[in-house]
Amino acid sequence: MSDLRTSDEIAKEIAANLARIMKKLGISFTMKGRPATYVEVFAESALLPAIARRADQLCALCLGYGIGVTFEEAPGSMTGSSVTFDSLSPDALRYLCLIDVLCELAKASPDKRATSLDELFYD
């Protein structure tokens, strides 16, 4: 019997934990000019692939390897791509990079009450 989690299980866990962390940090989001819930932001068919892509690039730049993700085209998703998480990469590394990406977006946001995620649609 294998203890390895599926990519879907990992993505759901990451989405739930990112929502908790952003709530604790007091970071809220907007998409396309309207308030967005954490569920909308971190859904696998929403912006999770774009956030993971930036986190993967950050990790590769800093450490020489990524956070254990692959991307595929997904025409029905918001960004046109989907993300698959491998079961071997450390979650701590993933969270550090994902949270850094989100905090940098919040830091750069002109509106300190809500962070616009619109630029992720163009990555």
Contact between residue 49 and residue 120 where contact means Cβ atoms under 8 Å apart: no
Parse the chain into domains and list their residue ranges: 7-115
pLDDT in tens, 19-49: 999 999 999 999 989 999 999 999 988 999 9
From the centroid of its chain, how far is CA 38?
11
Handedness of CA 59, 61, 63, 68 (dihedral sign): positive
Q: Rounded to 5 degrees, what are φ and ψ at 69?
A: -130, 155
Residue 95: how many other CB atoms lie within 10 Å: 16
Dihedral through CA 86, CA 30, CA 105, CA 23, nearest 10? -70
Model confidence pLDDT, tens digit, residues 45-90: 899 999 999 999 999 999 999 999 999 999 988 889 999 999 999 9
- pTM for the full model? 0.92
